[in-house]
């Protein structure tokens, strides 16, 4: 048995060595792909904590005052949040492509029904509304419930919390582009409601309206943000926004 085991062991060792040489030769033949595109170094941004603003964000409301908003003095501020009252408010600054975070809560005592319950809205560029509504066990038309692009697209799911509970919106917005007053690229909106995707890169059909179909009106690359007052004391807190910029390569190799 000893004489038979030795040749078998030699064969096994030889086969393993051959496989190792083959794998090494194959690895040596793999050439890394390089695009030749030279990119700028990404800017370092420090993330916030507990939904707080990252280091490059513009803080629009930190629970203390609404000084960055026109008509901000018309709303009631207490206990670190603002309560919608009397009129809508509009940012003094203008924004285009952006990432927007805000937190809201409908009144704890649910009154009314349909569109008459916890109604407000986020008007990006003053034209494109992401609906705010108490849609917890509250029936209404689907493209008008919370998380909808008003009268254009319902939310993919109903992610509403109970009345009075704090909720979050994280909105990624790409502004439409116009040249010579003609639309050359539509706007796009992605919305996360309480961390759940409810709008997935939706292509806007134009401005959002109650009394007429969606349609684009030419405008500049930036415009103010508006929070609607629709008669309900909706609460807001922790509002911040980040400008989104395209990353363009430093250089691109010439095509051969």
Measuring CA to CA, which residue among 26, 35, 59 is closest to residue 252? 35
Gyration radius of the chain over CA positions: 27
Residue 4 lies in a domain: no
Label residues 106-124 b or e (16+ Cβ within 10 Å = b).
bbeebeeeebebbbbbbbb
| Residues 173 and 100 sit within 8 Å (Cβ to Cβ) | yes
Q: Based on the structure, what is the number of domains in the chain?
A: 1
Report the phi/psi class of residue 60: left, alpha or beta, with left for phi > 0 and alpha for psi in -120 to 50. alpha
As a whole number of angstroms, the distance between CA 80 and CA 75 comes to 13
Residue 53 lies in a domain: no
Cβ partners under 8 Å of residue 55, min gap 6? 45, 46, 48
Domain CATH for 81: 2.60.120.560
Residue 254 lies in a domain: no
The CA distances from residue 18 to 5, 23, 147, in Å, are 20, 9, 62
Looking only at the bridges linking them, the beta strands covering 81-83 and 89-91 are unpaired
Largest CA distance in the chain: 99
* Residues spanned by the domain of 104: 58-243
Measuring CA to CA, which residue among 237, 247, 252, 246 is closest to residue 84? 237
| Bridge partners, 189 (sequence order) | 173, 202
Measuring CA to CA, which residue among 54, 43, 230 is closest to residue 144? 230
Which single residue is written with the structure tokens 């030419």?
218
Residue 102 lies in a domain: yes
- DSSP 3-state of 104: strand
Give tens-digit pLDDT for 116-148.
888 999 999 999 999 999 999 999 999 999 999
The whole-number pLDDT of residue 25 equals 55
Element (H, E) at 203: strand 196-203
The whole-number pLDDT of residue 27 equals 57
Residue 164 lies in a domain: yes
Residue 153 lies in a domain: yes
Residue 147 lies in a domain: yes
The whole-number pLDDT of residue 12 equals 54
As a whole number of angstroms, the distance between CA 56 and CA 98 comes to 12
Residue 122 lies in a domain: yes
As a whole number of angstroms, the distance between CA 30 and CA 26 comes to 7
Residues with pLDDT less than 50, the chain: 1-2
| Residues 224 and 175 sit within 8 Å (Cβ to Cβ) | no
Query: Does the model's pTM come out above 0.85?
Result: yes
């Amino acid at each position: 048995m000893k004489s038979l085991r030795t040749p078998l062991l030699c064969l096994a060792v030889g086969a393993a060595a051959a496989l190792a040489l083959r794998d090494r030769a194959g690895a040596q033949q793999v050439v890394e792909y390089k695009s030749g595109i030279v990119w700028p170094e990404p800017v370092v941004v420090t993330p916030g904590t507990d939904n707080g603003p990252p280091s490059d964000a513009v803080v629009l409301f930190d629970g203390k005052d609404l000084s960055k908003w026109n008509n901000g003095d018309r709303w009631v501020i207490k206990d670190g949040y603002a309560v919608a009252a009397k009129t809508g408010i509009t940012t003094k600054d203008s924004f285009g492509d952006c990432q927007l975070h805000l937190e809201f809560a409908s009144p704890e005592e649910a009154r009314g029904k349909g569109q008459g319950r916890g109604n407000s809205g986020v008007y990006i560029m003053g034209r494109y509304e992401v609906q705010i509504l108490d849609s917890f066990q509250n029936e209404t038309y689907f493209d008008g419930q919370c998380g909808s692009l008003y009268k254009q697209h319902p939310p993919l799911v109903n992610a509403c919390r109970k009345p009075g509970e704090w909720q979050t919106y994280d909105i990624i917005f790409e502004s439409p582009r116009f040249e010579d007053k003609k639309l050359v690229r539509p706007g796009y909106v992605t919305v996360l409601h309480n961390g759940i995707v409810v709008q997935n890169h939706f292509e806007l059909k134009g401005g959002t309206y109650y009394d007429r179909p969606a349609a684009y009106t030419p405008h500049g690359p930036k415009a103010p943000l508006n929070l609607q007052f629709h008669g309900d004391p909706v609460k807001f807190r922790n509002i911040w926004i980040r400008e989104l910029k395209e990353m363009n390569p430093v250089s691109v190799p010439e095509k051969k």
